[in-house]
Amino acid sequence: MNAASLLQQEIEAVDWFHRIDLGNGMMTPGRVDCASRLPGLGLPDDFHGLTVLDVGAWDGFFSFEAERRGARRVLATDYFSWDGPGWGSKAGFELARRVLGSRVEDREIDVMDLSAEAVGTFDVVLFLNVLYHLRHPLLALERIHSVTADRLILETHVDLLDVDRPAMAFYPGAEMWDDPTTWWGPNVALVQAMLTDVGFSTVEVHSQSSIEQRRARALYLKRIRGVPVEPTLQQGWAVFHAWR
């Protein structure tokens, strides 16, 4: 069996979450097409000279992307998806790093244990689709602030978008997506307020799902799951950029 066939076997043995281009026509069969999300995140085109922390890295797509864009140092951190009770593992990250010849560093550490003393501080911190999985989101953002030297890029599920003041929906049990690890649906105003409260001086909404996208999603969920349209119409995604 040749090297390409052996590598394909390794790829197929991993339960991937991120779809990652490994080169030479090999793509991991992940659940999420991360490349399609890049325009909405607003990552810097050029990371040269910058240090990057990717919190909740999982298979590492965004860690490797920061490296590809020239970051001087990238640290990927995770706990739940690498060593927690979920279905994920670190196998995808380690395989992708090896195949890509990447120098991305890794550290198994929970969000709540992040601190400047534990991991240092970084020019850019990526905190993508982790916030709503945490039981204590404000405390988590305090930890994130402590390791951000300049800029945070945060993406999260949002809810209650029809509410003007800061507010957050709570999802007990497995109410949201049949996922017991999805606890919260903050609205945009709340995320902005929390980021300001923990110490970020400037907070901007970089992008968020449009009403057309939200309506299409709500109608889809009604058709396949019988979910009422009105509650899900108030849900979507938003990306925030925050500076110290």
What percent of the chain has pLDDT above 90?
A: 80
CB within 8 A of 109, min separation 6: which ones?
Answer: 77, 79, 118, 119
Distance CA 59, CA 64 (A): 10
The predicted structure's pLDDT at residue 1: 64
Q: Which segments of 79-201 are extended strands (E)?
A: 105-108, 122-128, 148-158, 168-170, 184-186
The predicted structure's pLDDT at residue 83: 83
From 4-8, 109-113, 133-137, 145-149, the region with the lowest mean pLDDT: 4-8
The predicted structure's pLDDT at residue 85: 72
Identify whether the C-beta of residue 232 lies closer than 8 Å to the C-beta of residue 217. Answer: yes
Tell me whether residue 213 is in a domain: yes
Cross-strand partners of 77: 55, 107
pLDDT in tens, 93-134: 999 999 999 999 999 999 999 999 999 999 999 999 999 999
Q: Which residue has the higher pLDDT, 206 or 174?
A: 206
Distance CA 187, CA 144 (A): 19
Count: domains in the chain: 1
Tell me whether residue 77 is in a domain: yes
Q: What are phi and psi of 23, to 5 degrees?
A: 90, 165
Please name which of 32, 8, 36 lies closest in space to residue 22, comparing C-alpha atoms: 8
Provide the CATH number for the domain around residue 174.
3.40.50.150
Tell me whether residue 153 is in a domain: yes
Specify the pTM. 0.94
Identify whether the C-beta of residue 186 lies closer than 8 Å to the C-beta of residue 137. Answer: yes
Tell me whether residue 11 is in a domain: no
Give the residue numbers spanning the domain of 75. Answer: 32-243
Tell me whether residue 24 is in a domain: no
Averaged pLDDT for residues 175-191: 92
The predicted structure's pLDDT at residue 140: 98
Handedness of CA 22, 27, 28, 30 (dihedral sign): positive
Tell me whether residue 71 is in a domain: yes
Q: Angle, nearest 10°, between helix axes 188-197 and 137-146? A: 50
Distance CA 72, CA 59 (A): 20
Tell me whether residue 95 is in a domain: yes
Q: Is the pLDDT of residue 3 over 80?
A: no
Tell me whether residue 134 is in a domain: yes
Averaged pLDDT for residues 217-222: 83
Identify whether the C-beta of residue 53 lies closer than 8 Å to the C-beta of residue 117. Answer: no
